[in-house]
Amino acid sequence: MLALDLKRVAAFVRAADTEELLDRVTVYRAGMEPAALDLMEAELDRRGVTRSDIADHHIARRECGAILLPDGTALRCHFCARPAVSRGWGWHRMWGRLPVFPRVFARCEEHSSGAGERPA
């Protein structure tokens, strides 16, 4: 098992946008280390995000139809770090261009509207 590098986590937390931190402390919480969660919650506090804001974000993610895995965490979009709200067929592409075989992709709200299999 790898040890948690709190310095790297802290650097990530400072650089991450607020929405990503909110996703991590809500819908991805079950898969996070407690020490990392503490750093993220402290950063959200520093940014002025209240516990009520966090609870509202959690409710919004659940209401938008985030797909939950058996452990309670949300399935991630294949194209970004947001929670997936749909699954659909697309082409697995070699080097981002050559279609090789069809497969199912998980998509967030932003990526579910397009038919593209490639990240934006």
DSSP single-letter state for residue 89? E
Residue 44, domain extent: 6-63
Same domain, 82 and 119: yes
| Residue 70, in any domain of the structure | no
Rounded mean pLDDT of the chain? 87
| 116 pLDDT higher than 60 | no
Bridge-based pairing of strands 86-94 and 98-107 is: antiparallel
Tell me: the pLDDT tens digits for 39-83? 999 999 999 999 999 999 999 888 888 898 888 888 999 988 889
**Who has greater pLDDT, 52 or 1?**
52
Same domain, 80 and 113: yes
69 in Cβ contact with 50 (< 8 Å) = no
Same domain, 87 and 48: no
Given 42, 63, 84, which residue is the final one in a domain?
A: 63
Tokens of 18: 């607020």
Same domain, 57 and 19: yes
